[in-house]
A and B are shown apart, each in its own frame.
Chain A
């Protein structure tokens, strides 16, 4: 990995004892944030925003050679118009993971999201969801336009609801006012929603089993966005609706029916016909093992290898920093399993691929964990015959090259 480096700066005077360095104008202490620009040699106070580089000349030539060789498609993980644009410019062939929860965190919308969560009755909840719908629709219109003619996998809401709840006193009283509850009531509702282990709690499709209206609203927004684009004769992306955290056949069956019914309703209202797929994340060991049953109702699998690695090992990634280093030091792990796919996780993926194909020969297979941008993992994906990898926008060219190398070395 390249490290930006500025060297030979005689203008700085370092004092190791006091843990400071001085320049003509300022004194910088340990822990202060600075920015260095290894391209010009500048040292700048604070954190500075950055802009993306261009692919041109020899680089674009090499990439074009790689593109003619590779069979694996390269998609991106993106949920903002900016990231989507960057990724498409870097050669992404669709979105493999468009998270919808980030759209909920927007300042203007978070109040409505909180209103929805704190609602006591379904009626109140539907009212709050109705306010969110136009926002979600607009987000989807932007992304579907940028990724026109390419597939976009939209993952329905995944994180546990309490992540959206207010934390500070000020926020709590603000929400209380909007929802028409007392501060005390809001606080007790927050306590109710608290989970011991949110990663394994009320999240993913489990939320939609309890509150189907949330996914119904999201699907309505997706299909309304598509209908609008189609009616305006604009080019748009091919939608793939993805259900998170599925572990049983029954879950995916209920969810698929929900998506299809909502899609039908919107298409009928708008008198349009829209093609789409419904599929699932494979991010729990049970889902991988029972892939044959699940694939009866899923038209695609997308391996969420971040969570699949966490749940296979029973390791929470956020807590792994404390011991991962010791595991590597003691040669228990040769490499961080969150960087390159572990072989145990690989075995689960292999089972899911084989079993899924047994049931549904045409099943579309992809990976959307961060491993999708790791050359070693890409080699594995190519070998077992996935259709695509999906990675962060800035890793798209890396994945394109790695996919070509995997094909050559096959």
Chain B
């Protein structure tokens, strides 16, 4: 029973044969980074075994598990010198899913957990930043309300939009402490209206609700479809990572971002990614603010004005760069890393093997052999043979007469012809009858993935600003990336 929950720093993890099976990809990597001495916020992983137990126990956490979680929480409290639910110096947590293999965007995450009407005041006092505290609290209500309590996201977004309209401003960053205070009340009201219950103020109730929600998200429709398409067994289950929060939204010496150790679309050996100053993780993908490039080079190539991280935070950038190289040498593969800068201090939140296009997969594998990081055999095993299909795709015969009717962004290479369909169902139906179809959508969402799979090609009117992705899907205002490889 004692290996059900493991601290990131636990020495036991080293002895586990396949840590990813037990801790999930994210958890295994967090504990590995912890042991490498990288700056990882303290936390623990609730193993995939518990996911099993949870479903066996009528989708509830049993009391022994609850006690173990509380015990682990004490260790974090000691480590960061904060207390969960404390009225002076409250500890805030992130609760995130982590299956054996990464399933981007498929399962749930909750940030800023541990805030309530009282701790939010403590956080404001402690940081002398009332706006930050209120902003964090409203984000938490929004996420928890959506993920755990099942209140549709758009209800919250509508409230913010209407508020901004009334105030006559465009950006979230134009809203001040009092504005957020008002919105917090509105958010709690909408939760009460939709769930017939008050928003939970007991921080432990919040925590166990969030952990349960992450386990439940393993059986969500989204996750099931993703598993089916990627042949992931449902028995694997997910782990849950509980980690102390670090904040990228406490001021202009804070930032958050995602970065690949090499360019995922062409494979060149340059770090590549995006970051936002004074923001929290979801802002980078939410599209409410335009993220900036990490490197000067990428900024120059994209011909944008806004400063790259290399220019705005040179010292932190250098440290990040060093860590990225270290991670790549350690894992011997291109990594996709999430980080946060809190008052100029760099924290690494996650690392995983980075998704990439077929073209860059080949380049990276060959380059890593040249760099003596991997052997030729390893390079061969790195490439999914079926993914070569995209490189072998025929291109349009430019000699034939082309009647171009419109243009869009080139989002995933290759050419395809087929009958126009407007729904995933129709795409699937015709595909089953061995007909080629082009799925045409205003924008694609995770619900469309079966239709996207059935179609020979996809055409959308919106989306596609992230060049590192094969296909971008918007859901609840979030850009999600699907890789059809």
A9 touches B461 (CB 8 A): yes
Please tell me if A197 contacts chain B, counting CB pairs below 8 Å: no
Distance from A17 Cβ to chain B, minimum over Cβ atoms (Å): 10
Are A21 and B420 within 8 A (Cβ)? yes
A260 at the interface (CB under 8 A from B): no
> Which residues of B lie under 8 Å from residue A42 when comparing CB positions?
396, 402, 404, 407
CA distance A9 to B380 in the complex (A): 37
The distance in angstroms between the C-alpha atoms of A43 and B434, with both chains bound, is 23
Contact status B470-A2, CB under 8 Å: yes
B453-483 residues with Cβ-Cβ distance < 8 A to A are 453, 455-465, 470-472
By a CB distance below 8 angstroms, the chain B residues around A61 are 366
A65 and B410 in contact, given A4-B393, A5-B470 (Cβ under 8 angstroms): no
Measured CA separation A287–B36 after assembly (Å): 60
Interface membership of chain B positions 400-426, coded 1 if the CB is closer than 8 angstroms to chain A and 0 otherwise = 101111111111111111111111001
From residue 216 to 246 of chain A, which have CB atoms closer than 8 A to chain B?
Answer: none
Tell me the A1-49 residues at the B interface (CB within 8 Å): 1-14, 16, 19, 21, 23-26, 28-49
Complex Cα–Cα for A398 and B390 (A) = 11
Measured CB to CB, the closest approach of chain B to A9, in angstroms, equals: 3
Is A154 positioned at the interface, with any CB of B under 8 Å from its CB?
no
Mark contacts of A37-71 with chain B using CB atoms, 8 A cut-off: 1 yes-contact digit, 0 otherwise.
11111111111111111000011011001100100
CB-contact partner of A39 in B376, B377, B413, B432, under 8 A: B413
Tell me which of A3, A33, A59, A66 contacts B458 (CB under 8 A): A3
| Number of A-B pairs, beta carbon distance below 8 Å | 270
Determine if B379 and A62 form an interchain contact, defined as CB atoms under 8 angstroms apart: yes
Q: Are A30 and B421 in contact (CB under 8 A)?
A: yes
CA distance A409 to B378 in the complex (A): 11
User: Nearest Cβ distance between residue A209 and chain B, in whole angstroms?
Assistant: 33
B107 on the A face (CB < 8 A): no
Q: B182 in the interface, Cβ–Cβ < 8 Å? A: no
B442 within 8 A of A: yes
B391 touches A53 (CB 8 A): yes
Assess whether B391 is in contact with A43, with CB atoms less than 8 Å apart. Answer: no
A51 surroundings in chain B (CB, below 8 A):
394-397
Given contacts A8-B460, A45-B403, contact A62 B411 (CB under 8 A): no
- A146 CA / B144 CA spacing, docked (Å): 66
Are A4 and B412 within 8 A (Cβ)?
Answer: yes
Interface residues in A265-304 by Cβ distance below 8 A to B read none
Beta-carbon contact of A375 and B397 below 8 Å: no
Q: With A3-B452, A28-B405 in contact, do A36 and B464 touch (Cβ < 8 Å)?
A: no
The reply to whether the CB of A408 lies closer than 8 angstroms to some CB of chain B is: yes
Mark out the residues of chain A between 323 and 352 whose CB falls within 8 Å of any chain B CB in the assembled complex.
324-325
Chain B residue contacts of A2, Cβ below 8 A: 358, 387, 389-390, 393, 412-414, 470, 484-485
Q: In whole angstroms, what is the CA distance A216 to B339 when docked?
A: 73
Assuming the A-B contacts A21-B440, A26-B405, A405-B385, are A6 and B459 also in contact, with contact meaning beta carbons closer than 8 angstroms in the complex?
Answer: yes
List of B residues within 8 angstroms of A397 by Cβ: 388, 392
Closest residue on chain B to residue A13 by CB atoms: B461
Q: How far is the CB of A194 from chain B (nearest CB, A)?
A: 24
Q: Is the CB of A50 within 8 A of B394?
A: yes
Contact between chains at A50 and B380 (CB < 8 Å) = no
Asked whether B332 is an interface residue with its Cβ less than 8 Å from the other chain, the reply is: no
Q: Hey, which chain B residues are within 8 Å of A90, CB to CB?
A: 392
- Give every chain A residue within 8 A of B387 (Cβ-Cβ): 2
Identify which of residues 238-261 in chain A touch chain B, using a CB-to-CB cut-off of 8 Å. Answer: none
Residue tally, chain A, CB below 8 Å to B:
71
Q: Does B381 contact A (CB under 8 A)?
A: yes
Q: Is the CB of A1 within 8 A of B386?
A: yes
Once bound together, how far apart are the Cα atoms of A326 and B453, in whole Å?
Answer: 17
In the assembly, what is the distance between CA of A310 and CA of B377, in Å?
Answer: 37
Q: Nearest CB to that of A45 among chain B residues?
A: B403
Distance (Å) between the CB of A230 and the closest chain B CB? 35
Q: CB of B383 within 8 A of chain A?
A: yes
Give the nearest-CB partner of B414 in chain A. A4
Q: Which residues of A contact B397 (CB under 8 A)?
A: 48-51
Q: For residue B415, which residues in chain A have a CB less than 8 angstroms away from its CB?
A: 4, 35-39, 48, 50
State whether the Cβ of A404 lies closer than 8 Å to any Cβ in chain B: yes
CB distance from B418 to the nearest CB of A (A): 7
Could you list 14 further interchain pairs (A-B, Cβ under 8 angstroms) beyond the known A11-B407, A398-B392? A2-B358, A3-B416, A4-B416, A5-B470, A7-B463, A12-B459, A30-B421, A34-B405, A36-B459, A42-B404, A49-B397, A59-B391, A395-B392, A402-B385
Residues of B within 8 A of A (CB): 267, 358, 362-363, 365-367, 376-377, 379-381, 383, 385-397, 400, 402-423, 426, 432-434, 438, 440-442, 452-453, 455-465, 470-472, 484-485
* 25 pairs from A and B in contact (CB 8 Å cutoff): A1-B453, A2-B358, A2-B414, A3-B484, A4-B457, A8-B408, A8-B460, A8-B462, A12-B440, A13-B461, A14-B442, A24-B406, A34-B417, A36-B416, A36-B458, A36-B459, A37-B410, A38-B416, A48-B415, A50-B395, A51-B394, A322-B432, A398-B385, A404-B380, A405-B381
